[in-house]
Structure 1
Amino acid sequence: MTFKIIRLVDQPEMKEQSAQWFHEKWGIPLQAYRESMEDCLANKHSIPQWYIAVEGERIIGGMGVIENDFHDRKDLAPNVCAVYTEKQKRGQGVAGALLNYVCSDMKSKGISTLYLVTNHTDFYERYGWEFLCLVQGEGESEPSRMYVHK
């Protein structure tokens, strides 16, 4: 079965299911996702924005775009965040399709440069992301890799 990508602003009824899904994947408080998604729905053409990949009724992947993904470089914004694909769906193009979709959607809103914090290497480069610098995450002992997409 194929999947489709949904912008939360286009299907606000997916907010609660999406907030719950991201909360389960990342352990960030459910209320934080709800509040960010409510901001997304109230301000459809600005940051934050949320995206999910669905197969039937099931969320199989997702990501957001927020001002800052919990790091010390507040000048590097906005940030793609909460990138996740269900384990059994990895290697099937879900994250890549989401990344390409999100970059295109942000560009249509006049935002051509995006940043992303990760410790993955050799994945994001395949989709046009370039290593920029190391950043210090809140409460993290080791720095993380910051990527940029222009």
Structure 2
Amino acid sequence: MVDEKLPELIDHLGWRLWRAARLWKAEFDGRMNARGLAWYTEGRASLIAQIGDAGIRQSALVHRLGLTKQAVQQIIDELAAEDIVTRRPDPADNRGRIITLTPKGVAAAHAANEVKREIDAAQRERLGAARFEALMDTLRTLAPDAETPEISA
């Protein structure tokens, strides 16, 4: 017989990471909004981190972001209309396009880094330097720098 009573929900790593991430994101969003960069708090800003100094092929963005061609095209269209990114022909393949940041996009990326440093500094102050560095080391172990793995159902 199955016990139909809801079990007591446990405290667990996933819950704590999720809550911490939501609190961090709320702080980041508030600070970016205060700088007049509300668009950077939206999902489409995830594209910015993929571009790099030399730009990136639009087809590579599709792969890296795990979105459809149409979705990436729409995001690029929106960001281009706001003068955040620009498209140029790929010199290696005229059918392709290279996406690069405009000066406005570069300035926004610098502002985002500044906000991230501010948040880190506040947390370092709150936790103390040793605990903050231990937390960062632990998180680097749990989530090493790498492309996001594909999620299977």
TM range (shorter): under 0.3
Higher normalized helix content (fraction of residues): 2
Select the structure of larger CA radius of gyration. Answer: 2
| Larger strand fraction of residues | 1
